[in-house]
Structure formats: structure tokens, C-alpha cells
A = this chain, B = another copy of it.
Amino acid sequence: MINTKLLFEELSQVREKSPLVHNITNYVVMNNTANALLSIGASPVMAHAINEVEDMVSIASALVINMGTLSDEWVEAMIIAGKKATEKGIPIVFDPVGVGATQYRTQTAQKIINECKPNVIRGNASEILALSNANISTKGVDSTVSSNVAFDSARELAKLTKAVVVISGETDYLTDGERDVNIKNGNPMMTKVTGMGCTATAIIGAFVGLGKDLFISTACAMAVMGISGEIAAQKSVGPGSLQMNFLDTLYKLSEAEIANTFRDE
């Protein structure tokens, strides 16, 4: 469904158009997320004040809502921004970090899905299962189940919410309820850098900000993420150098590197 040519074309458009991505995200990853968006050629903005999120999202090409370090005031801002985005036809990407770990997270995720109607939902397998009420316990913010177990739940969730659903993991599974794709890129060391999942979500924001087919753009974003992480990990001795090399790789990623590395099924 996606291939090197398409991938590089969408990446080139991100670099050229530099979509403004409005992030309402968690404190832990704001810096990484902004740097990843800049490295890939997009333009990040972080803003969460209730009295400005409507104005900010209105000038953005995409809205990223990430509930990593949530609190009532931030959730209120997420929902205000999300409603405005929907009204304006601006795509929303939602990252339900740690859903299932606490009741508050589960309720908040459901509230955001119901009230903002996100266009893309990305989580790890535990999170997607928790969203589908599969009664799987989540250990903090890291996944405890393998991705393929959660795939049926993902497809149901996609049908129910009309969103593209992404389960990231060793293999990334993507579905919009009809179409699906598996992306095989990545490296286990990526799980040792905080916020790699959140970064994937933000990069999806950059790609869907192009205003093209949401499923294809999401797949391109996840492929660029996995390819860059895989190339960067090969040059890295640990998570510290991986973080650095990952940003450098996003910045320089070439069509030849994509062709040599991309693996789907």
C-alpha cells in the first residue's frame, strides 16, 4: 500500500510545506517532540492555555493531543482545542498515554474520543486494548502485551471511532477498519528512549497536516519513524546516542536510505 516513492514524496512535502503542528502534550516529551518535528521539517507549537488554544489551533495544520501528564485544566484545554479543530476540519491525532493504568486516564481517554472525535489514535498494544475495554492491565506507560494480540481490538476501535488506529511496537499495525498495513521497521533500543511513542504521534501530526489521505499519511509517518529509529540505532551504543542520532537521521533521511531500509508486509 505504501512504498519508497510514496514515502519520500510525503516526507518531501512535509519538508517543503512545513505544516504547523499544535501540540497539547506532556511535560516529559515536549522538548523531544518539538525537536523531532523541527528535524523532519515541520513547525511545532506548544500551547495549552484555555484562553488561547482555539486561536492557536485555528492557524495550525494539525492538532496533537497527548495525555501523558494530564490534569483537569489541561484536559479542558484539549477538549476545547479538539472541538475547534473538528469545526475547522483540522485533523486531530490522539495519544492515550497510559490509558488503563488509572481510572482517571481511562475516563479521560474516553472523554477525548467522544468529544473531540480524533482522526488518528496511536498507542502501544496495552493502551489500544485498554481503549477497547479489553480488561488488560497496563503497567504504567509501557506495554505489557504484544502488538498482534491487540490487532482485532484495533480494527473494532477504528470502525467504532472512524479513526485510523495505530498500534506501535516491534511491528507497527495500522488500520482504518477497512485497510490495514504492517510496518516492520524499528529497533528494540527505541523503547529505552522516553517519548519515542509520543514522537511518533507528533510526526503523524506533521504528515496528516498535509491534508491528504489520512491512512496513507499515517502509514508514511510511522514508516519514517521506524526507518529513522532503525538507522539511528545501528550507529548508537545506547539510548543517549540513539536520541541524538535519531534527530540527525530524521533531518537527513534520503530516498536511498528509505529504499534500503523500509520493510512492510
Contact = CB atoms under 8 A, between A and B. Distances in A.
A49 B224 CA distance: 34
Interface string A45-79: 11111111001100110000000111111000000
B45 A101 contact: yes
Contact of A46 (B27, B35, B250): B27
Given A26-B46, A30-B69, A43-B141, 9 more contacts: A31-B32, A35-B239, A35-B240, A44-B194, A48-B69, A51-B72, A238-B247, A238-B250, A240-B244
Interface string A211-247: 0000000000000000000000000111111011111
B239 A38 contact: yes
Contacts of A243: 35, 240, 244, 247
Q: Tell me what chain A mostly uses at the interface: helix, strand, loop, or mixed.
A: mixed
Chain A: interface size category: 35 or more
Interface in A178-236: 191-195, 236
A20 interface: yes
A133 interface: no
A13 B20 CA distance: 41
B49 A70 contact: yes
Contact of A103 (B48, B52, B102, B252): B52
A156 interface: no
B71 A192 contact: no
Contacts of A251: 192, 237-240
A56 B250 CA distance: 34
A139 interface: yes
B240 A252 contact: no
Contacts of A259: none
